[in-house]
Structure formats: structure tokens, C-alpha cells
Amino acid sequence: MAWNESGGDDKDPWGNRGNQGPPDLDEAMRKLQGQLSGLFGGKGSSNGGAVKGPSQGMIWLGVIALIALYLFSGIYQVDEQERGVVFRFGKVQPELKTAGLRWYPRVIDRVELVNVTQVQSHNHQALMLTKDENIVDVSLTVQWVIDDAAAFLINVRDPRRSLSQATESALRHVAGSSTMNEVITDGREAIAIEVQDRLQRYLRSYGTGIQVTKVNIDRSAPPVQVQDAFNDVQKAKEDRQRFVNQATAYAQQVVPEARGRAQRQIEEAQAYRDRVIARSDGEAQRFEKLLIEYKRAPEVTRDRLYLDALETVFKNSSKVMVDVEGGNNMMYLPLDKMAQRSPEVTLDRDVVRAAVEELRRELSNNRSTSTRGRANN
């Protein structure tokens, strides 16, 4: 029989029946389903029909899939800057979850992740009444971090709103205890520090779990309605301070000079006093020595003193000495003093000669009188 001739059983060389068409897809699927059912313990139809119901193997497969999905859904990641707060049946667990891959049982536990390192900012602006009954417009920025993650989540309903209200209260208390000049000008830094301390005490008493790291006063100024008047007052204060500084600088320049002059005069007076005292002491000592010599030889000491006096007087002056004939005395004629008193008078030689002769006669008479007096004695 040729290769393309059909046999007696109506089959082709590949074993297919001649009258049968291509294989049915639905029948192939039913066969595959029956094989799977038999694999998991089920029973398929003997004639290749549909499965009557889910088998025990299929049920277990579904259970395993649900358990795997449940376990997989409880896996979560905690970053380095985060902390995980675990709620078990609504109650907070004391242990916080740190960084790493974590798992929690769903339905039983609930995990809230809180960033505890991120610095957050709160801007606040308000009109404040100062101690001196002035209104100041203050704007500040509060920088804060979460210090206690569990307290931040459970102690207060809205921690950020509580922070805003506490900031308002702290700022109002501090501004009400300060003057307008302190709030606006030189006291801003101290006020910011005091607001930070008071705000932290408020937040700690509320149990918010917030840590305030910095308070910065961005702006503090009077309201717009009185800004011009306030600027005029500030300008007047600056002018007053400038005048005070100028006066202080002048005083610092003049006072040391006056003190220096006064000290110099004091030192000169002290030196003069010391000089006079020293000279007086010397004169006194010299007089005491002369007194001793005078008691020993009065005539000699008197003559010596007389000659010393003449030497002192005539040392630095022009003089004319007139010799008296027949005597030892000489006459002193101060012509330079006469010339100074009458600079326009010219001395005639005859006049001078006559004056000298007159002086000689007076000296001779005086000498004779003194000689007679000694003879009588």
C-alpha cells in the first residue's frame, strides 16, 4: 500500500482518523483542568467533562496565597531620620522602631512613621502691646523638631496649632514686659531668647513632644499708621545721642589737658617750694656760721660782710670809682643808672669835674668828723 493510501481502519500514516477534524480547544482545556484536579486530590469526570466543584488542593492553595499576601503587606521600611510608633489594638507600645526593614501584623498593629530630625519652621505675626502702652507689629520664625514621636502623635490633637497658640502667648507675655524701644531696637535678641525659653516651657507642659531650636525676630516695627511719627522720634533720639557723644569726646579731650596743666603747675609749685626751702635752709645755716664768726671777731666779720655785699652789688654793673685825696675811701658814681634815667641828657666834663670835687669835699668832711668822734671816745 502506498504511503498516501488509507488503510482499512481509515487511518492516515500519522494515526489520525480520516473523517476526524482538528482537535477541540475546549476539550484540551478540560483535560488540563482534570489533570490539575487530580494533582491536588480532586476527581475529574470520567468522560472528560467539567469539574464538579473546588477541590481541597485548590482551597489550600488559596489559603497559602492569602497568608503570603498578608505577610508581605506587613513589611515596611524605616529611614534613618524616622521613628516608627506602633499602635497595638489602638494602644501605643513603648518601644519605637528604628531604622531598618521592619514587619508588623496588620489588623493587630498599626505603625506611624515620624521624622524626628527634620527642622520645621513656624511663622508668626501679631500686634503686641508693650509695657509703655505702645503697639508693635512683630513677626518671628520658630524653628522646631519632634523630640518625642509618641507624644507628638497622641498627647494633643493638633500639635502645630498648639505650637501657634503657645507662640502667641509667649510673645505677648514677653512683649508686655518690655518697652517699645527694647522690642524694636537694641533688645530684640534678648526678647527672642526669652520667648524661646517661655515657649519651650509651654510646649513641655502640654506634652507636645516638640523641641524648639531657635526663635528669630524677623521684623519689629510700629504699625503703619504711626510709622512717620515714630521715625521722627527715632531721629530725635539719634540726634540727642550724637550730641552726647560729641560732648563726651570734647570732655575726654579737654579734661586730660586741664589735668595735665594742673599737674604741671602743682609740680612747678612744689619745685619752687623745695627750692625756696632749700635756699632758706642754706641761708640760715650760713647765718648761723657767720654768727659764730661774728662773736669771735665782730670788726673783721662786719668788714668782710660789707665787702661781700659790695662785690655782689658791683659785680654786673658799670661803675665809676672816685679816689678821695688823703683818704682810703673811694666814692661810687653810678653813671649808667643816671644815663638810663635821663637818656637825653649829655654829661658835660666840667659838670662832672665839679660833681667829683663836691663829693671829695663831702667825703673829707665825713672822714674828719669820724676821726674826731673816735678821738673823743
Any domain includes 309? yes
Please tell me whether residues 309 and 331 are part of one structural domain. no
- Straight-line distance from the first to the last Cα atom of the chain, in angstroms, rounded to the nearest whole number: 218
pLDDT at residue 65, rounded to an integer: 79
Average pLDDT over residues 166-183: 89
pLDDT at residue 197, rounded to an integer: 94
Any domain includes 188? yes
Q: Is 0.75 topped by the overall pTM?
A: no
pLDDT at residue 377, rounded to an integer: 53
Give pLDDT tens digits for 125-142: 988 888 888 888 899 999
Please tell me whether residues 163 and 200 are part of one structural domain. yes
3 state DSSP class of 296: helix
Any domain includes 326? yes
The domain boundary, picked from 115, 143, 173, lies at: 115
Please tell me whether residues 170 and 217 are part of one structural domain. yes
Instruction: With cut-offs at 50, 70 and 90, classify the pLDDT of residue 270.
Output: very high
C-alpha Rg value of the chain to the nearest Å: 66
pLDDT at residue 368, rounded to an integer: 64
pLDDT at residue 167, rounded to an integer: 93
Any domain includes 43? yes
For the chain, how many structural domains are there in total?
5
Provide the β-strand partners of residue 125.
Answer: 139
Any domain includes 95? yes
pLDDT at residue 143, rounded to an integer: 93
Instruction: With cut-offs at 50, 70 and 90, classify the pLDDT of residue 50.
Output: very low
Closest Cα to residue 222, out of 124, 129, 122, 131?
129
CA–CA separation, 105 vs 88, rounded Å?
9
166 has pLDDT over 90: yes
Closest Cα to residue 149, out of 118, 174, 175, 184?
118
One-letter amino acid at 321 equals M
Please tell me whether residues 52 and 88 are part of one structural domain. no
Do 183 and 131 form a contact (C-beta atoms < 8 A)? no
pLDDT at residue 328, rounded to an integer: 57
Provide the β-strand partners of residue 88.
Answer: 91, 109
3 state DSSP class of 42: coil
Q: Mean pLDDT, the chain, as a whole number?
A: 75
Please tell me whether residues 350 and 322 are part of one structural domain. yes
pLDDT at residue 145, rounded to an integer: 92
CA–CA separation, 98 vs 82, rounded Å?
7
Average pLDDT over residues 197-219: 91
CA within 13 Å, CB half, 282: 6
46 has pLDDT over 50: no
Any domain includes 90? yes
Please tell me whether residues 62 and 84 are part of one structural domain. no
**Residue 43 structural domain:** 26-70
CA–CA separation, 101 vs 112, rounded Å?
15
Please tell me whether residues 136 and 197 are part of one structural domain. yes
pLDDT at residue 223, rounded to an integer: 77
Closest Cα to residue 301, out of 312, 284, 320, 286?
286
Please tell me whether residues 154 and 65 are part of one structural domain. no
Closest Cα to residue 317, out of 333, 306, 302, 304?
333
113 has pLDDT over 50: yes
CA–CA separation, 144 vs 121, rounded Å?
6
258 has pLDDT over 70: yes
Please tell me whether residues 213 and 267 are part of one structural domain. no
Give pLDDT tens digits for 57-99: 677 777 787 777 777 777 777 777 778 787 877 777 777 777 7
Which of 251 and 317 is assigned the larger pLDDT? 251
Give pLDDT tens digits for 358-369: 766 766 676 566
Query: What would the grid cell of residue 285 be?
Result: 645755716
Any domain includes 12? no
Average pLDDT over residues 271-300: 86
pLDDT at residue 24, rounded to an integer: 63
Please tell me whether residues 149 and 63 are part of one structural domain. no
Any domain includes 281? yes
The domain boundary, picked from 170, 205, 222, lies at: 222
Average pLDDT over residues 213-217: 92
Give pLDDT tens digits for 193-203: 999 999 999 99
Please tell me whether residues 171 and 213 are part of one structural domain. yes
Average pLDDT over residues 289-299: 82
Please tell me whether residues 212 and 149 are part of one structural domain. yes
Which of 102 and 55 is assigned the larger pLDDT? 102
